[in-house]
Structure 1
Amino acid sequence: MSDFNDFNNPQVANLPKHLRQFIVEQHYEKYTPIDQAVWRYVMRQNYSYLKHVAFYPYIKGLQRAGLSIEHIPDLQTMNDNLGKIGWGAVTVDGFIPPAAFMEYQAYRVLVIAADIRQINHIEYTPAPDIIHESAGHAPIIADTDYNNYLSYFGSIGTKAMFSAKDFELYEAIRNLSILKEAVDTPEDHIARAEKHLQQISENMGEPSEMALLSRLHWWTVEYGLIGTLENPKIYGAGLLSSIGESSTCMQDDVKKLWYNIDTINYSYDITKPQPQLFVTKTFQNLIDVLETFANTMAFRKGGVESIVKAIACKNPATAVYSSGLQVTGVFTDMGVDENDQLSFIKTTGPSALAIDNNQLENHGKFYHKDGFSSPVGKLKGHQNALEDLNLSQLEELGIVENKNTSFTFESGIHVQGLVKSILQHKGKTILISFEDCTVKESNGNILFQPDWGMYDMAIGQTIISVFNGAADKGAYEEITHISDKQTHKVVYDDTTNALHNIYKTVRLIRERATGYEQLPILFEALKSEHRHDWLSAMEILEILYHKQQYPDLEKEIRIYLELKAENEPEQSKLIHDGLHVIKNPVTQLINEEEK
């Protein structure tokens, strides 16, 4: 991707190749006048309400992130502003894999879904959209304690082990959100996808590290409260970007509990309002809880339990030997000795060896295409670990290049063959390669035989760490970049184009404070040809009310909207909230805050 646009932002420029593959162009021109009106409506509602309950000064936060109430943000402006506080932003296509999402956070880059919710999902959308990501996450980024938490969470989350079920769940959620946001999806398709998601959700088994971590993410980054149990403030992006839930969450029937490590026991359902929320006294407490959980994770614990997690994952993971050697692949088997210690580990399919997250030369996934297996542990009758022996000490054991040798591990695994090379790194022996080699367990079970080719034996007394994904992601992970060059031109029918023109004209009249004589004609067109629409009528009413134009028309539109609210229950709250903000103008409130 030589034409990669980094927006002249150091954080974005620093993204590795395997993360760049998810980035899509924003294509600002594809946002319709209705999209812009949806943004403005939600942002005005947010501000009108959130000024009382948000943790931070909302408008100042928006401005520092390069956002405004009036227009959908463009990525360049956001990056210019976020760059000043050491962050960046990119647009992606809806849901991306959780591990990638976490890694962007670790690189201090906000991931923003390029699309915006449809008007019929204005209060809440099941799919990530630009309102949730930018209006929810971005304004609080300027808080140093919070953004440190976010990037630290990303670095921990990147290492979290998945279960195979997590991957199924991710695919099911992504599929459902795409169907729900698509125009004219048949109801039975949505029902089928919901049922499929429910079946997977109900059969998840023991939660994986990533599942538990995603709970901590949900109850903080998305739905977190800060302060006291009696009078908490909102900082979670899910609440800040949901005009429905940001108000209902403060009611007494939503329990408020202190945020601590026990919070991992509370699962969540993304399709329903939350029955309880968690309050932290400080952002530092979030880091402390995360640290407590991180100490239980495979990347810090290693050993048998961590390899078990890797096998359950059924996707590439990395095991780190105490010598520093890293083995990446899909783990399928392991051996355990009589003391419950690892005796060998095995991967199947493309595998790779690395040190310090850099792939070893000639040890990539094409060379080890059929998998990799190697003993773990100490040699029988030897005090010192094999990795700690220098070349002359190895020679005393008979391990010398171009000579035959044989030795047995404490676990009973016996190795016999011709030593071809000994690889050392920072004073540690990390890999010994053999020709004509046989590796057997004490019961005679063959782990390797001569006609399988060269035997590369990893060296290390223990497995000290196991983490999700590859050690050298750039070398191991295939870049499956989908071209973002295809046309984004959506063809709208004549009626929709006419409605877009009404929205566009109303915006121009409001911004230029001229052309009020067109408003009666525009409202007539709405009444006769676009009876389903309520937002454009609301915007016309706003202008008439504040500019004191056409009082009879103002009264007629108000009655029109109130009747609509009565007859169309699904629009009722939206219309009443819109009428409230017209009477309590946001601009006035913003000016007060800025003082």
Structure 2
Amino acid sequence: MMSNFNDFNNPQVKKLPEHLKQFIVEQEYAHYTPVDQAVWRFVMRQNYHFLKDIAYYPYIPGLEAAGLSIEKIPDLQEMNDALQKIGWGAVTVDGFIPPAAFMEYQSCKVLVIAADIRQLHHIEYTPAPDIIHESAGHAPIIADPDYHQYLSYFGSIGAKAMYSSRDFELYEAIRELSILKEMPDPDPLKLKNAEKQVLFCQKNLGDPSEMALLSRLHWWTVEYGLIGTLENPKIYGAGLLSSIGESKSCMDHSVKKYWYTADAVNFPFDITKPQPQLFVTPNFQNLTQVLENFADSMAFRRGGTESILKAIECRNTCTAVYSSGLQISGIFTDLRMDKHDELLFLKTSGASALSYENKQLEGHGKQIHADGFSSPVGRLKNFGKALEDANDNELEKLGIIGGQTAELNFSGGLSLNGIVGSILKRNSKLILISFSDCTLKDEQGNVYFEPSWGVYDMAVGEKIVSVYSGAADKDAFEEVAPKAKSATFHPEYTAHQKRYHDLFKQVRLCRETQSKFELLTDIWNELKQNFRDDWLCAIEILEILELENIFTDTAKDIRIYLEMKSSSEPELNNLIQNGFYLISKAQKGSGALRN
């Protein structure tokens, strides 16, 4: 967690709960190199020229509304100043963060932006989240009211999604692979093993969890969504908007286009490859409707035995909500049900807590319930209503009187005998009864609680109406989401690399100040002599020379050099040809070039 939390004077960022701050890192703007800035500018200029016709939103106004420009990597303060006008904020994080945390940020109307930018050798596409994808992809469309409403609503539902322990293994594997792929010279064996691990995790997920299914809906909308008609769709998905290559190739007829319906949940995705199909929504309201229908199948809306089973499979902190409103947070490990699969009893192991309306109940935190919590679920025999709805007279008739021994027999077969201690009500509902000298057992005589174990806090509630991932009162629970073991790669630059950066810096200075153009020939000669792998700095020099119509011999020399490089290094062909295209489109003084 950041020691000095910077809220950027943004209301949404200020309101972030403590447990989400653990993922935030400083942007450290000064760490972006001149090459990084050139990568941003090249990608953004390409995006502008290509996407202005196929992006759903007006590209430049969209960027400006999010505090972005084509010319430089965005500064988080500038982004937050712009985003707060539409009720959003932004923070920087270290690469991939766990899906549950990502969703919760979204529900808080805060964009999560990877602080790093892709390496030059991954300029067309990177599997790792980077500032181009997160800011230039997600932020510009967020001004659309229907879209940002969908985004925050998705986050609120996603934050409750149940995930399995295998989901986290897959997240860990994808993160590891993306970090390796962003390294300048990754160990081939490590890379191969990381790819194998991702493949293994993908193939061994078993039945997909709620989070896995929701991730598919997120992927086919927020990341790779199209809007409009099947014949002439427009791009709104951030993954497409931030990928030079795939934003072009996705319009090809070989990429199948389907209407976006609930069926999209049946299409898994591979984060490392171009997508074989995409989904088109007629409008953003349709996205919300599909999400709403899916949410109806989730544990947080369904409750019951099936949902507790999902919590047990999760193997991480979950919350079960009784019909009385009492919330039990902990790692669920056991349950009991009848022959009709009705839930009769639930159990957590390890530190657990009780809450009501997302606020931890006094005296019922993890220290008190350090070894777990268990309680019956259901009605009492021979009592015509749910116990939570009993009034004081009815409680007296049932023998539930402070200081006296009570015997409670549940319809499911459990029986409890103990001395009544405290009786807790909230909003006229009985939610908790504490017993001393208490025994809880079933019809076969199996003991679930015995007097020597101390005070027994019995949850009151006829049903479990909701089960969701995470604690009810996350901050009181001091919830630390499972964090990745791996850290993103940050290179140490050699003197040779630093000199290369300096050449980019000089070119940018010439362009921005419209002066010292005579330096460009010297820079080109140094590139030609000492940096034979370069193509981007040469493109930037050529752009200025041809735009200003100066040093035509040098310009001709650069163009021939780049044509030869394009021919001899096929992997650079598209990039260099795109660079030529951008130069041909630039007109002196045009907003498109100098925006």
TM-score (norm 2): 0.97
| Gap change, CA 1:272 and 1:2, over 3 Å in 2 | closer
Q: Which amino acid aligns with 1:477?
A: E
Retained in 2: the 8 A contact 1:348–1:372? yes
Q: Tell me the SS of whatever aligns to 1:59.
A: helix
Aligned residue in 2 for 1:123: 124
Q: What displacement does 1:366 show?
A: 1.8
Separation in structure 2 between the aligned mates of residue 538 and residue 451 of structure 1, nearest angstrom: 79
Q: Tell me the SS of whatever aligns to 1:323.
A: coil
Structure 2 residues without counterparts, runs of 5 or longer: none
Q: Tell me the SS of whatever aligns to 1:546.
A: helix
Aligned residue in 2 for 1:451: 452
Retained in 1: the 8 A contact 2:351–2:366? yes
1:208 matched to 2:214? The reply is no
Q: Which amino acid aligns with 1:493?
A: T
Greater mean deviation of Cα atoms: 108-117 or 471-480: 471-480
Aligned residue in 1 for 2:434: 433
Retained in 2: the 8 A contact 1:165–1:204? yes
Aligned residue in 1 for 2:464: 463
Separation in structure 2 between the aligned mates of residue 539 and residue 117 of structure 1, nearest angstrom: 19
Aligned residue in 1 for 2:108: 107
Retained in 1: the 8 A contact 2:161–2:469? yes
Greater mean deviation of Cα atoms: 53-62 or 582-591: 582-591
Aligned residue in 2 for 1:546: 547
Q: Tell me the SS of whatever aligns to 2:435.
A: strand
Aligned residue in 1 for 2:19: 18
Aligned residue in 1 for 2:310: 309
Identity score, percent: 62
Separation in structure 2 between the aligned mates of residue 420 and residue 588 of structure 1, nearest angstrom: 81
Aligned residue in 2 for 1:165: 166
Q: Tell me the SS of whatever aligns to 2:244.
A: coil
Retained in 2: the 8 A contact 1:44–1:586? no
Separation in structure 2 between the aligned mates of residue 479 and residue 204 of structure 1, nearest angstrom: 24
Aligned residue in 2 for 1:185: 186
Aligned residue in 2 for 1:35: 36
Structure 1 residues without counterparts, runs of 5 or longer: none
Q: Tell me the SS of whatever aligns to 1:533.
A: coil
Separation in structure 2 between the aligned mates of residue 558 and residue 421 of structure 1, nearest angstrom: 84
Q: Tell me the SS of whatever aligns to 1:473.
A: coil
Separation in structure 2 between the aligned mates of residue 441 and residue 588 of structure 1, nearest angstrom: 83
Aligned residue in 1 for 2:398: 397
Structural mapping, 1:2-81, within 5 Å: 3-81=4-82
Q: Which amino acid aligns with 1:365?
A: K
Separation in structure 2 between the aligned mates of residue 480 and residue 205 of structure 1, nearest angstrom: 23
Retained in 2: the 8 A contact 1:48–1:586? no
Aligned residue in 2 for 1:375: 376
Separation in structure 2 between the aligned mates of residue 365 and residue 168 of structure 1, nearest angstrom: 27
TM-score (norm 1): 0.97
Deviations 1:269-304 (A, max 9, x none): 001100000000000000000000011111011011
1:227 matched to 2:233? The reply is no
Separation in structure 1 between the aligned mates of residue 552 and residue 567 of structure 2, nearest angstrom: 23
| Gap change, CA 1:161 and 1:58, over 3 Å in 2 | same
Deviations 1:545-580 (A, max 9, x none): 100011111111001001111111111111111111
Retained in 1: the 8 A contact 2:348–2:374? yes
Q: What displacement does 1:593 show?
A: 14
Q: What displacement does 1:585 show?
A: 1.8
Separation in structure 2 between the aligned mates of residue 586 and residue 410 of structure 1, nearest angstrom: 81
Structural mapping, 1:172-571, within 5 Å: 172-478=173-479, 491-571=492-572
Q: Tell me the SS of whatever aligns to 2:195.
A: helix
Retained in 2: the 8 A contact 1:21–1:481? no
Deviations 1:357-416 (A, max 9, x none): 000111111211111110000001111111001222111111111111112100010101
Greater mean deviation of Cα atoms: 350-359 or 444-453: 444-453
Retained in 2: the 8 A contact 1:470–1:477? no
Separation in structure 2 between the aligned mates of residue 556 and residue 267 of structure 1, nearest angstrom: 49
| Gap change, CA 1:199 and 1:2, over 3 Å in 2 | closer
Separation in structure 1 between the aligned mates of residue 500 and residue 427 of structure 2, nearest angstrom: 68
Q: Which amino acid aligns with 1:27?
A: E
| Gap change, CA 1:413 and 1:481, over 3 Å in 2 | closer
| Gap change, CA 1:169 and 1:424, over 3 Å in 2 | same
Q: Tell me the SS of whatever aligns to 2:476.
A: helix
Q: What displacement does 1:588 show?
A: 7.3
Aligned residue in 2 for 1:88: 89
Q: Which amino acid aligns with 1:204?
A: L
Q: What displacement does 1:589 show?
A: 7.1
Q: Which amino acid aligns with 2:271?
A: I
Q: Which amino acid aligns with 2:23?
A: F
Q: What displacement does 1:445 show?
A: 1.1
Retained in 2: the 8 A contact 1:62–1:138? yes
Retained in 2: the 8 A contact 1:59–1:590? no
Greater mean deviation of Cα atoms: 502-511 or 585-594: 585-594
Retained in 1: the 8 A contact 2:587–2:593? no
Retained in 2: the 8 A contact 1:30–1:489? no
| Gap change, CA 1:299 and 1:338, over 3 Å in 2 | same
Deviations 1:441-468 (A, max 9, x none): 1111111111111111000000000011
Q: Tell me the SS of whatever aligns to 1:465.
A: strand
Q: Which amino acid aligns with 1:416?
A: N
Deviations 1:50-96 (A, max 9, x none): 01100010000001111000000000000010111111111011111
Separation in structure 1 between the aligned mates of residue 203 and residue 432 of structure 2, nearest angstrom: 44
Retained in 1: the 8 A contact 2:436–2:456? yes
Q: Which amino acid aligns with 2:207?
A: E
Q: Which amino acid aligns with 1:504?
A: K
- The number of residues matched between the two structures is 590
Separation in structure 1 between the aligned mates of residue 458 and residue 359 of structure 2, nearest angstrom: 18
Q: What displacement does 1:491 show?
A: 4.4
Greater mean deviation of Cα atoms: 457-466 or 564-573: 564-573
Separation in structure 2 between the aligned mates of residue 227 and residue 478 of structure 1, nearest angstrom: 42
Q: What displacement does 1:16 show?
A: 0.7
Q: Which amino acid aligns with 1:367?
A: I
Separation in structure 2 between the aligned mates of residue 379 and residue 457 of structure 1, nearest angstrom: 13
